[in-house]
Amino acid sequence: MTSGSPVAVVGLGYVGLPLAVAAADAGHHVVGYDIAEQHVERLASGHSPIEDVTDLSLKEVLAADTLRFTADPAELAGCHCFIICVPTPLTDKAPDLSMVMSAVDTVAANLSPGNLVVLESTTYPGTTEDVVAPRLLQATGMEAGRDYHLAFSPERIDPGNPTFGITNTPKIVGGMGAAATEAAAAFYATFVEDVHRVSSPREAEMAKLLENTFRHVNIALVNEMAVFCQELGVNLWEAIDAAATKPFGFMAFRPGPGIGGHCIPIDPSYLSWHVRRLGYSFRFVELACEINDRMPDYVAARAGELLNRERKPVNGSRILILGVAYKRDVSDVRESPAIALVRRLAARGAKISWHDPHVEGFDVGADAATDGDIVNTGDRVQTAELPHHPRDDVLRQPRDVREHAEAAGRDRVVERVDRRGVAEHRQQLELEEVLVGHGGERLEALARLLVPALGVVVGDDGGLLERHVADQLFELHPDQ
């Protein structure tokens, strides 16, 4: 497929939007489709909601008239290529392909002979051939491999990765027949540097699950080691750094309070579910899920132990969480272990404050709330105490702290923090001895600023933070 071909990208989230922009930048005429009309309107105005696509890059392809957005499926008519990039969550521990089916129906209404259809949504092996192809056949009467090309190409988006993006991350493609594989490879080769072909969609589907299952079980390994290394008096982070000096046969993974994002907590369960249908159990994945799922409880318990050393209960203690996204330098809180951690600490009576420069809203459920918010405004750190709302589902991080403080009838705003004012800052925040956090360089700098006045920090980079910390509790940022 040559540049200039009309392409439809169905689903404009963390996967679909970068793909649409990259294809448009390569010269394709791209129609980005999403059922969320407000989302489409925001994109059409040149505002990107994700870190991997800047407003500038979005506005450039919009100005070049190579990309347009729509919520009307009829506008996909005439496209030669359809790329499906919709979420595939778990519902009751089983794959939920409802959004894939809806997207397939949208494609079917606009499919013509000779077109290319590619599924990028993560799923179990066999979905493309056993679910998508029959549904398109039933809706259109067209058969994959005879009337149109059908392939699977797993998304490999790593939000916030400054080194690897959509163009320099190798793309796997597997089609229903050699012609479909080549058609998909030709399309991706117009904007991806390296395209790797496999023999069928099943191998491509399995490759994605293998990648994330590998990470899932290795994170579980170091998480379990972290628990007993604490009892043994061993600095596991130092041990991992030492092991990583071996130039072969070892890959470093580091502990965290659990796993987050849409891939690692979800994808291995797709494979486990599919294997169970064959009468087997995937014990590695099931055990890894058990270990990683209990880590928020472990971190909450460690926080309680450290407070206990200072003769302070968790109940009533003020705990600051630095970073609530599932990984550093992103705004994505999907499946973030910070959610479970906040719920555990709040259930024990802790007063939770949080700060994340990338996150505006943090939903922890109706039975958890906070009476204090921390916000970051550039190099200024501010805090405002808000009234307690036991039915409020969102721990807010307001943009204008003064406005919220005045509305709450309070006047407790710390304007600025520097090294000389750390002790005063701690007194005004009324924080206890525990600082729980993760995040990027801005949060690490804030943590180093506060640590001299606070006894304990949970950081996302043990090697960096442990030089500034009296007693490291845990790392909140696993390798994901």
Strand extents, DSSP E, 1-102: 6-10, 29-33, 67-70, 81-84, 90-91, 94-95
Identify the active-site residue in 79, 81, 85, 263. Answer: 263
Cβ-in-10-Å burial (0-12, 13-18, 19+) of 148 comes to buried
Strand extents, DSSP E, 256-406: 318-322, 351-355, 361-363, 372-377, 380-385, 394-396
Question: How far is Cα 69 from Cα 11, in angstroms, rounded to an integer?
Answer: 11
Question: How far is Cα 101 from Cα 105, in angstroms, rounded to an integer?
Answer: 6
Residue whose structure tokens are 């870190």: 51
Q: Is 263 a catalytic residue?
A: yes
Strand extents, DSSP E, 300-397: 318-322, 351-355, 361-363, 372-377, 380-385, 394-396
Residue whose structure tokens are 């910070």: 338
Query: Cα angle at 218 between 160 and 457, to 5 degrees?
Result: 60
Alpha carbon 364 to chain centroid distance? 16
Question: How far is Cα 452 from Cα 435, in angstroms, rounded to an integer?
Answer: 11
Strands 318-322 and 434-437: parallel
Question: How far is Cα 194 from Cα 278, in angstroms, rounded to an integer?
Answer: 35
Alpha carbon 415 to chain centroid distance? 32
Q: What is the dihedral of CA 399, 403, 405, 410, to 10 degrees?
A: 170
Strands 372-377 and 380-385: antiparallel
Strand extents, DSSP E, 231-322: 318-322
CB atoms within 10 A of CB 170: 12
Provide the annotated active-site residues: 263
